[in-house]
Amino acid sequence: MATDLQIDVPKIVSVNPATGTVLRELGCAGENDVLAAVARARAAQGMWAEIGVRRRIAILREFQRRLHEKKSEIAEAITQEAGKPVVEALTTEVLVVLDATRFLIENAYRLLRDEPVPHGNLATKLKRGRLLREPYGVVGIISPWNYPFSIPATETLAALVAGNAVVLKPSAFTSLVALELKSLLHAAGVPQDIFQVAVGDGATGAALVHSQIDKLVFTGSLATGKRIAVAAAERLLPVVLELGGKDPMLVLDDADVEVASSAAVWGAFVNAGQTCLSVERCYVHRSLYELFLEACVDKTKKLIVNHGLEHNADVGPLIHQRQLQLVEEHVEDAKARGARVLAGGSRFPEMGANFYHPTVLADVTHAMRIMREETFGPVLPVMAFDSDEEAVRLANDSEFGLAASVFTREKTRGERLARQIQAGSVMVNDVVSCFGISEAPHSGVKSSGIGRTHGRFGLEEMVRLKYLDIDGMPGMKKVWWYGYGAKFAAQMDGFLNFEFARSAGERLRGARRAIGLVNRKQL
């Protein structure tokens, strides 16, 4: 008698971090599932590339329309799974994606079309060159939980409009948001095999890295990014790696304290501090230090910590217990080393298991973990400095270099310091919002990553460059072909003098020696 064997498929559980409510159980894509998804993507990609940029832009326009219609529904789905207030889901996720789509609709055709390459060398004047931008093929994307819609969507849209197929592996904590993205893209006209979502855990991500994708875009921790870089190097897989930051904010002695303190509080606590562009280190000129701290503490204590679906919420929960414990460790280490806790500094169990009070720390130093390691939580550590030079030195004293900000009333001074800070983006008199500027590249230096997303340079990451050269005289042998000898060497010496010698006389003599190149005999 035959017996049916039931194979247990590993599952992940999507949980509301504010309430602990299980939203849905999902089966993990195994290695064979990932390989099959990549194979389907590769088989379909050629036809997707052939429909042309204009048709793909039209599909993006339909995606934008559908997303706008469902903006509130998508924002609530983000809040349910990631915890952030609904208004933050609208502004930092839905708005960002709508505008990124706008950028691609307006610019993709121009940025992806063939580009003429002029020839300055006299010897190649009969040629015509063009730079072609061709899709890689299949792009793998591994995205994080902190911005589960805007990060994978902006990367996916750039890859798709360039003619690639995409296999997305979202964070195990926010897979439902990725499935919402898939639903929107498919409804807009993206073929099912051109955009696929591989839901799963770390093993699913590893399977994608080791599959036959043509490029990988990863956003996540430095440790995981290094492991991916090693794996990619084995077969020279091109990668874009965004690996987090420890972003400094500099408040100069002429800054507007009221404005700068509001920026610091928002920059440190937006998305409960779980933002790669968060203000994680704040340096304030000593003349403003106590006044700035007082303003930050006052504003921090006015923030409402609540479930993200409550419309009065300013700060929501952390994503899970491990993240909360890391924040707690950093704060306790700072306290043990002499930092003062001026606000917060503890869990908020009355609100829920994953809530932590927004925290302001004073008198921090670089000996503390909170000023060296990425905290990714609702903590604003503040340190005093005495000169612009010291502020820049402190800002650059980090293995990370994602973003930074400078607050000053004098724009030229702010720009001067910004140019000295080692970071992929520096804002003067604002924080974080550079991520929402669709024209601006998002990238880091040092341990913050490799490559770029967003804007023209993010779109360039999604294509291979090919140089195409067409000779205008197909029936003529080229003068540099075989038929060498002393005479040819003398003629070429003259040609080089004709093109590059300093004096007019030397150029004229060179031209006379080179004239025989036109009639030289070749093999």
CB 456 within 8 A of CB 481: no
> Contact at 8 Å (CB) between 157 and 101?
yes
Q: What is the set of active-site residues?
A: 242, 276
- Pick from 389, 409, 431: which is nearest to 248 by CA? 431
> For residue 133, what are the contacts with CB-CB under 8 A and spacing of at least 6?
111, 112, 113, 114, 115, 162, 460, 463, 464, 465, 466
> Which tokens belong to 291?
């006044």
Q: How far apart are CA 55 and CA 97, in angstroms?
A: 20
Cα separation, 214 vs 464, in Å, equals: 10
Amino acid present at 493: D
Contacts 24+ apart (CB under 8 A), 453-458: 453/154, 453/155, 453/158, 453/217, 453/240, 453/242, 454/100, 454/154, 454/158, 455/103, 456/107, 456/111, 458/154, 458/155, 458/158
The H-or-E segment that residue 19 falls in is: none
How many angstroms separate the CA atoms of 228 and 220, rounded? 11
Structural contact between residues 205 and 219, judged by C-beta atoms closer than 8 angstroms: no
> Could you give the CA distance from residue 35 to residue 498 in angstroms, rounded to a whole number?
59
Q: How far is CA 83 from the centre of its chain?
A: 22
DSSP-derived secondary structure for 391-436 = HHHHHH-SSEESEEEEE-S-HHHHHHHHHHS-SSEEEES--SGGGG
Q: Are 94 and 149 in contact (CB under 8 A)?
A: yes
How far apart are the C-alpha atoms of 15 and 6, rounded to whole Å? 26
- The helix or strand, by DSSP H or E, that contains position 117, with its residue range, turns out to be strand 115-117
State the sign of the Cα–Cα–Cα–Cα dihedral 197, 202, 204, 205.
positive
3-class DSSP state for residue 322?
A: helix
Task: Measure the CA–CA gap between 424 and 523, rounded to whole angstroms.
Answer: 54
How far is residue 101 from each of residues 72, 259, 382, 436, measured CA to CA in Å? 18, 31, 37, 12
Q: Answer yes or no: are the C-beta atoms of 443 and 460 closer than 8 Å.
A: no
